[in-house]
């Protein structure tokens, strides 16, 4: 399914959790990316950023070093508002517009819409 989506998308956004595991599977993801057509664009989004945890802080620095320019300017922060919204079957911005997660998601959405541009029709990105 994921491979199917990868082949169809104009824009591929790889979402990685900020955990040591994501650092270790860097090579696997690189081989996946290698199979993309030259016309297909791609970027990496990070999820679960939490400056309070030393492990996550270190991992964030290593992921930044690994992916460099390919990282989106917005990272998704660890935020209890997300499960709270899920419990009420709402989107996080509907449940709590001031939540940091809502702010981050809006940033990512704005970036994606900017990247796809007005000319793209028909095919959608894979997220």
| Binder among 45, 56, 79, 126 for other proteins (CB under 8 A) | 79
Which is nearer to other proteins, 11 or 85 (by Cβ)? 85
Nearest approach in angstroms of CB 107 to other proteins is: 10
CB of 71 closer than 8 Å to CB of 111: no
Told to check if 56 binds other proteins by CB under 8 A, we report no
Minimum separation from the CB atom of position 3 to other proteins (A): 34
Residue 51 binding other proteins, by CB under 8 A: yes
105-109's contacts with Cβ under 8 Å and 24+ in sequence apart are 105/76, 107/73, 107/74, 108/13, 108/45, 108/72, 108/74, 108/76
Instruction: Scan residues 88-127 and list those touching other proteins (CB under 8 A).
Output: 96-103
Beta carbons within 8 Å of 64's beta carbon, 6+ residues apart: 71
Residue with tokens 């990105």: 125
Applying CB under 8 A, the residues found at the interface with other proteins are 51-52, 77-81, 84, 96-103
């Amino acid at each position: 399914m994921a491979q199917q989506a990868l082949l169809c998308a104009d824009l591929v956004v790889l979402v990685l959790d900020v955990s040591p595991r994501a650092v270790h599977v860097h090579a696997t993801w690189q081989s996946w990316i290698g199979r993309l057509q030259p016309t297909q664009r791609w970027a990496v989004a990070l999820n679960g950023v939490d400056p309070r945890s030393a492990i996550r802080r270190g991992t964030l620095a290593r992921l930044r070093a690994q992916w460099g320019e390919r990282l989106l300017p917005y990272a998704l922060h660890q935020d209890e508002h997300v499960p709270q919204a899920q419990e009420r079957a709402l989107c996080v911005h509907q449940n709590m517009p001031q939540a940091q997660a809502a702010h981050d998601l809006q940033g990512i959405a704005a970036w994606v819409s900017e990247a796809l541009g007005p000319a793209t029709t028909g095919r959608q990105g894979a997220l």
